[in-house]
Structure 1
Amino acid sequence: MSAGSQTGIVGGIRYDVRRMHETWMELFFPRQFEASNSVLGKWEPQTAREKVTYNSWYYLGVPVIALLYPLVLTGYFLRFQTRRLDRTAMRLGTIGVAVLLLLFWGGLTAYARLQFTPAGFFAVAAASIVAIVASALGLLFRRVGGRVTTVVFAYPFAMTAIFLPPVVAALYSPTVADYVLPQSENIAIRLLNGPLAFVGLEEYLRRTYDLRGVAYAGMWFGIAVPVGWLLGILVTLADLVRPTADED
């Protein structure tokens, strides 16, 4: 039974939750996932011990699925956006995308050369180079294909193309720096006092690194990579729960 046979939002949610819970049960018990349409049917416990373990695992999966499903919904949204970008990139082709990036960032750099001070020009030029290289690498790894390659490399480079150019520009332009660098410091403090302190990295980072100059770029690259991994994992989770073919 595909998602297309479900009616409305409620039907789609029921379909997703059922698939997720069946997958959860399949981790330890045979013939649980979509077993109703199979010849053997769904496996059911026979002995008292099997019934206890089966029911315990069944009800343990309820809060787990409740926590995971909002992430799946987020993955659906992200997948929809990435599929739109993929289709656009496929229509343009690799060379077309490269030309489009060069025209956009090259035109922006040329405008900065005419309108801004030398510092402003170098800021835009440096940001343009970072954006073009990161975008090209993200597209390259996306073209290579494979779920692992896409999650590990393509998504982080795509996030780098978004996060890093303003920071690189701030290293050359005082005007941009006055806004970008204080905001970066605030984010760094929150990360150090929050998740990094929780995993025990706060003291090491404070002792080892000084947030100035190129360290800002390193910080944002360090943020872009796990954010890219997170987005890739969410899209992958959405693919596992409801493969793209079920949506067409």
Structure 2
Amino acid sequence: MARGTSQGGLVDAIRYDLRRLHDGWMALYFPRQRTGEHSVLGKWTPQSTAGTVAYRSLGALGALVVGLLYPFVLFGFAIRYQTRRIDRTAASLGVLGVVVLSLVVWGALTAVAWRRFSDAGVIAVAASGGVATVAAALAYLTSRFGGRFTTVLFAYPFGMTAIFLPPVVAALYSPALSVVVFPNSESIAVWLLDNVLTYRNVDEYLRSRYDLEGLAYVGMWFGIAVPVGWVVGLFVSLANLVRPKSE
């Protein structure tokens, strides 16, 4: 019985999400769609034949769009849960606390590296800590002193930078890391050039102007971290659109 109740609750939740998404789609073109259920006037409906045809046509198109978007909404729910936990921790620490915590953690790792690794390994860990600390602080500041647009545009890319760049920076100084990071980076770069960056011959421009070596790896991963951060931010924003934080 409990299992049936759980399945019924899941189905109801999915129906609710799909309805909210569809209402949001219709609200782009017609008034009083999402708020119509709570309005004295109710949901707006067309009065003319032409308006009814347009309304139903956009509704059918919206059903297709919603079906395509919903998997991304589910992914956004999962990411939002993790980002909220990180956000609450960062809010309790403040920007100074975030910087101090990062310096303590990376300072401890640098101290361990100083006792166990070569000078190159120590430099690698310290450089990675510097990158992670600056990126984390910028992610915090851009998320606190701005709205949703600023958070998606800046905070998420800086957060991804704090994750992606430290191992790449460390690989510049550590031979042990470089044999892992750089060949895999080259494989990803080739795939991006052959499959993603072929638009308007961007791949040919990059191949003719830049060599993937040294700091170019850092630039490459920063270039990846920024759009990945935007995508993650958009998925979370989509999840917030369907189910706001108050729910």
TM-score (norm 2): 0.93
In 1, distance between residues paired with 2:182 and 2:76?
31
Larger deviation, residues 180-189 vs 7-16: 7-16
Kept in 2, the 8 Å contact 1:71–1:234? The answer is: yes
Question: 1:116: Cα distance to partner?
Answer: 1.0
Structure 2 unaligned blocks of 5 or more: 1-7
Confirm whether residue 174 of structure 1 aligns to residue 172 of structure 2. Answer: no
In 2, distance between residues paired with 1:106 and 1:128?
8
The 3 A distance-change label for structure 1 pair 124 and 74 is same
Counterpart secondary structure, 2:14? helix
Structure 1 unaligned blocks of 5 or more: 1-6
In 1, distance between residues paired with 2:38 and 2:174?
64
Matched with 1:221 is: 222
Kept in 2, the 8 Å contact 1:31–1:43? The answer is: yes
Kept in 1, the 8 Å contact 2:156–2:232? The answer is: yes
Larger deviation, residues 121-130 vs 179-188: 121-130
Question: 1:161: Cα distance to partner?
Answer: 0.6
In 2, distance between residues paired with 1:166 and 1:217?
10
Kept in 2, the 8 Å contact 1:155–1:228? The answer is: yes
Kept in 2, the 8 Å contact 1:113–1:121? The answer is: yes
Matched with 2:35 is: 34
Kept in 1, the 8 Å contact 2:139–2:158? The answer is: yes
Please show how residues 9-88 of structure 1 align to structure 2 within 5 Å.
Answer: 9-88=10-89
Counterpart secondary structure, 1:211? coil
Letter in 2 for 1:170: A
In 2, distance between residues paired with 1:245 and 1:77?
17
Letter in 1 for 2:47: Q
> How many residue pairs end up in the alignment?
240
Q: Percent identity?
A: 58
Describe the superposition over 1:180-210 as per-residue Cα deviations: whole angstroms up to 9, x where unpaired: 0000000101111111124642111111111
In 2, distance between residues paired with 1:45 and 1:139?
46
Kept in 2, the 8 Å contact 1:19–1:34? The answer is: no
Question: 1:93: Cα distance to partner?
Answer: 3.0
The 3 A distance-change label for structure 1 pair 232 and 199 is farther
In 2, distance between residues paired with 1:202 and 1:195?
9
In 2, distance between residues paired with 1:59 and 1:210?
49
Matched with 1:205 is: 206
Question: 1:30: Cα distance to partner?
Answer: 2.0
In 2, distance between residues paired with 1:161 and 1:89?
14
Question: 1:46: Cα distance to partner?
Answer: 2.4
Please show how residues 49-128 of structure 1 align to structure 2 within 5 Å.
Answer: 49-128=50-129
The 3 A distance-change label for structure 1 pair 19 and 200 is farther
Letter in 1 for 2:218: A
In 1, distance between residues paired with 2:30 and 2:93?
47
Counterpart secondary structure, 1:245? coil
Matched with 1:143 is: 144
Confirm whether residue 155 of structure 1 aligns to residue 156 of structure 2. Answer: yes
Matched with 1:164 is: 165
TM-score (norm 1): 0.92
In 2, distance between residues paired with 1:216 and 1:33?
46
Larger deviation, residues 57-66 vs 24-33: 24-33
In 1, distance between residues paired with 2:55 and 2:18?
18
In 1, distance between residues paired with 2:85 and 2:180?
32
Kept in 2, the 8 Å contact 1:134–1:160? The answer is: yes
Describe the superposition over 1:98-133 as per-residue Cα deviations: whole angstroms up to 9, x where unpaired: 221111101111111221111111111111111111
Confirm whether residue 237 of structure 1 aligns to residue 244 of structure 2. Answer: no
State the Cα RMSD in Å.
1.4
